[in-house]
Amino acid sequence: RSAQEMKHMENISSLLQGSSPSEYQRPDPKSEREAVAAPGEQPWEMIMDKKHFKLWRRPIEGTHLYQYRVFGSYTDVTPRQFFNVQLDTEYRKKWDSLVIKLDVIERDLATGSEVIHWVTHFPYPMYSRDYVYVRRYSVDKENNLMVLVSRAVEHPSVPEDPEYVRVRTYESQMVIRPHKTFDENGFDYLLTYSDNPQTVFPRYCVSWMVSSG
């Protein structure tokens, strides 16, 4: 399914982009939403559209929350470099100023799964949030894909801390497809993501934060 979704998004990206502004012809909103929704699923709403970065969202039924989908491209980085940065918790501590803690709690060498504890700053005056999640990754040479999947779990080594708000609902899936090979510059990526950070922001505030980066 990951391979099919990535191919679908690449086709949509080529539709949404023209070789020049005069050739750019945008589909109607209904076609745009249906283009990124699987049959029988709720449609997506595009909220950011740039040449190498597109962002959609859709409501999660029965909640005030959204699920997000990002499709993007890089031309000056190899897929393997990008993939390794996603996995490197020590490097993230250096480039992500919001990280308070980021530790691998447990590894399963048989499956390659890891349990991560991540504590991140939230805007004042809110408490910082902490996540405990399992992630698993694979390099699919047959389909020329890299896949990284994460979801929230409970772990006895990481009880709740009164200093933080525990995020119990979280899942993400990232798919990376090289333009050529894993070690040559250029790739597309598709990220599908949702969580419940237990904030009381109204929807228009969340929309503004997402669309502004």
Number of domains within the chain: 1
Q: Where are the beta strands (DSSP E) in the chain?
A: 45-50, 53-59, 66-74, 99-108, 113-120, 128-140, 145-152, 164-167, 170-178, 187-195
SS3 of residue 82 by DSSP: helix
Going by pLDDT thresholds of 50, 70 and 90, the confidence category of residue 51 is confident
Q: What's residue 126's pLDDT?
A: 84
Asked if the structure places residue 153 within a domain, the reply is yes
Asked if the structure places residue 12 within a domain, the reply is no
Contact 57, 44 (CB under 8 A): yes
Asked if the structure places residue 195 within a domain, the reply is yes
Q: Which residue has the higher pLDDT, 19 or 65?
A: 65
Q: What's residue 10's pLDDT?
A: 63
Asked if the structure places residue 2 within a domain, the reply is no
CATH number, domain of 169, equals 3.30.530.20
Q: Any idea what the Cα angle at residue 69 is, between residues 58 and 205, rounded to 5°?
A: 60
Please, where are the H alpha helices in 45-102?
79-87, 89-95
How many whole angstroms separate alpha carbon 203 and alpha carbon 195? 14
Tally Cβ neighbours within 10 Å of residue 176. 24
Q: Where are the beta strands (DSSP E) in 75-169?
A: 99-108, 113-120, 128-140, 145-152, 164-167
Residues ≥6 apart with Cβ < 8 Å to 158: 105, 117, 132
Look at residue 29 and tell me whether its pLDDT is greater than 60: no
Query: If you search the block for the tokens 């989908």, which residue do you land on?
Result: 69
Asked if the structure places residue 63 within a domain, the reply is yes
Residues 169-184 have a mean pLDDT of: 96
Contact 55, 36 (CB under 8 A): no
How many whole angstroms separate alpha carbon 145 and alpha carbon 90? 24
Report which of 186, 83, 171, 81 is spatially closest to residue 132, judged by C-alpha positions: 171
Asked if the structure places residue 17 within a domain, the reply is no
Residues 175-203 have a mean pLDDT of: 89
Summarize pLDDT for 118-171 with one digit per residue, the tens: 999 988 888 999 999 999 999 999 999 999 999 999 999 999 999 999 999 999
Tally Cβ neighbours within 10 Å of residue 213. 5
Look at residue 16 and tell me whether its pLDDT is greater than 60: no
Summarize pLDDT for 52-85 with one digit per residue, the tens: 999 999 999 888 889 999 999 999 999 999 999 9
For 151, the domain range is: 41-212
Asked if the structure places residue 132 within a domain, the reply is yes
How many whole angstroms separate alpha carbon 191 and alpha carbon 174? 4
How many whole angstroms separate alpha carbon 189 and alpha carbon 83? 10
Asked if the structure places residue 75 within a domain, the reply is yes
